[in-house]
C-alpha cells in the first residue's frame, strides 16, 4: 500500500509530516525525542506524522487509561498522558475502533511518553479508524465502579461495565424503561443524569445528559484503575505468600 503523503487526509485527519507544526503546538511537544534531544528510533527509520488530536487508551497490565496520540509512524508513537505512567509488565495502545497494538516504553517526560511498536504497523490503518470492530465510536474505558441509581422513586445499586465521554454501560437488577431519565451517584464524580438508550436486562446502555471532557474523564477514571491495580497486586502477593506457607 502506498504511504500517506504530507497534507493528505486519512480517515478525516489532516496529516502534517516532520516539523510542520500547528500554530498552537510547540515543537518540543511534537518532536518524538527523548529528554536528551536525540531522535527516537521511529523518527530515524520511518516518516512521522502529527495527529492533531486522537483519543485512545493506554492499556497497562490490563488497566485502561485515556490518552491522546500526537505523533505516529510505522514503528512508534508519541502519547499525551493524563496521569503518571505506573510500573508495568505489559503495555498496549488501543484505538476507539478496538484495534490494539503491543508497545514498549522508550522515554517518558512530564505528560508525554514515546513508545515503540513491538512489530511494525501499517500507518494508514493506524490513522484511519473507519474500519475495525467498532468504527467511528468514542473511546470506552472498561471500569469497575459501583454506584447508586435513582429511578421512579427507588434507589438501587448498579455496577459500571464501561464508560465514555458520552455514556456508559451498566448492570442493574431493576428493570429500566427505554428513554427513562435516571440519576447516578458514584461518590467519585458529580451526579450523572442519563437516559436509557438500549437494554438487555440486566445490562443497559446510558447516554449522559451532559458529556465529560476528555481530560476530566481521564483524571476521574485513573485513580480508580490505579486503585484496582494495587488491590490486584496485593492479592497476588497474598496468594504467593499462602502458597509458600503451605509448600
Question: Whole-angstrom Cα distance, residue 40 to residue 114?
Answer: 8
Q: Is residue 134 part of a domain?
A: no
The pLDDT of residue 46 is 66
17 and 115 within one domain: yes
Cell numbers linked to 121: 504497523
Q: Which regions of the chain are under pLDDT 70?
A: 1-52, 131-136, 227-247
Helices (H), the chain: 27-30, 41-45, 123-127, 214-246
Q: Is residue 226 part of a domain?
A: no
The pLDDT of residue 179 is 98
30 and 120 within one domain: yes
| Averaged pLDDT of the chain | 78
The pLDDT of residue 136 is 64
105 and 61 within one domain: yes
CA dihedral 22, 25, 30, 36 (to 10 degrees): 140
Q: Give tens-digit pLDDT for 19-35.
A: 333 333 333 333 444 44
176 and 98 within one domain: no
111 and 78 within one domain: yes
Q: Is residue 158 part of a domain?
A: yes
182 and 122 within one domain: no
Q: Is residue 49 part of a domain?
A: yes
Which among 104, 124, 114 is positioned nearest to 36, based on CA atoms?
Answer: 114
Facing residues of 92 across strands? 59, 102
95 and 189 within one domain: no
The pLDDT of residue 78 is 94
Q: Is residue 242 part of a domain?
A: no
φ and ψ of 245, to 5 deg:
-70, -30
Q: Is the pTM of this model over 0.75?
A: no
Q: Is 87 left (phi over 0), alpha (psi -120 to 50) or beta?
A: beta
The pLDDT of residue 45 is 59
117 and 157 within one domain: no
Range of the domain at 194: 141-208
DSSP designation for 93: E
The pLDDT of residue 96 is 86
118 and 53 within one domain: yes
User: Could you tell me the CATH number of the domain that includes residue 84?
Assistant: 2.40.10.220
Last residue within a domain, chosen from 96, 127, 158 = 127
120 and 15 within one domain: yes
Task: Enumerate residues 6+ apart whose C-beta is below 8 A from 155.
Answer: 148, 149
Amino acid at each position: 500500500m502506498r504511504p500517506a503523503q504530507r497534507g493528505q487526509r486519512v480517515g478525516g485527519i489532516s496529516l502534517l509530516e516532520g516539523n510542520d507544526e500547528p500554530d498552537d503546538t510547540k515543537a518540543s511537544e511534537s518532536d518524538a525525542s527523548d529528554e536528551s534531544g536525540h531522535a527516537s528510533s521511529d523518527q530515524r527509520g520511518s516518516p512521522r506524522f502529527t495527529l492533531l488530536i486522537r483519543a485512545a487508551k493506554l492499556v497497562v497490565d490490563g488497566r485502561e487509561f485515556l490518552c491522546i496520540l500526537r505523533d505516529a509512524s510505522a514503528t512508534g508513537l508519541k502519547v499525551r498522558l493524563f496521569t503518571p505512567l505506573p510500573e508495568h509488565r505489559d503495555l498496549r495502545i488501543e484505538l476507539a475502533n478496538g484495534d490494539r497494538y503491543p508497545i514498549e516504553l522508550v522515554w517518558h517526560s512530564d505528560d508525554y511518553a514515546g513508545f515503540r511498536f513491538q512489530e511494525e504497523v501499517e500507518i494508514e490503518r493506524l490513522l484511519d479508524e473507519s474500519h475495525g470492530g467498532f468504527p467511528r465510536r468514542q473511546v470506552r474505558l472498561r471500569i469497575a465502579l459501583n454506584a447508586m441509581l435513582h429511578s421512579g422513586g427507588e434507589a438501587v445499586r448498579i455496577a459500571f461495565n464501561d464508560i465514555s465521554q458520552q455514556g456508559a454501560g451498566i448492570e442493574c437488577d431493576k428493570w429500566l424503561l427505554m428513554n427513562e431519565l435516571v440519576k447516578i451517584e458514584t461518590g467519585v464524580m458529580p451526579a450523572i443524569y442519563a437516559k436509557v438508550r438500549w437494554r438487555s436486562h440486566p445490562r443497559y446502555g446510558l447516554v449522559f445528559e451532559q458529556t465529560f471532557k476528555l481530560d476530566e474523564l481521564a483524571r476521574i477514571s485513573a485513580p480508580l484503575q490505579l486503585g484496582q491495580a494495587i488491590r490486584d497486586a496485593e492479592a497476588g502477593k497474598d496468594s504467593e505468600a499462602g502458597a509458600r506457607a503451605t509448600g
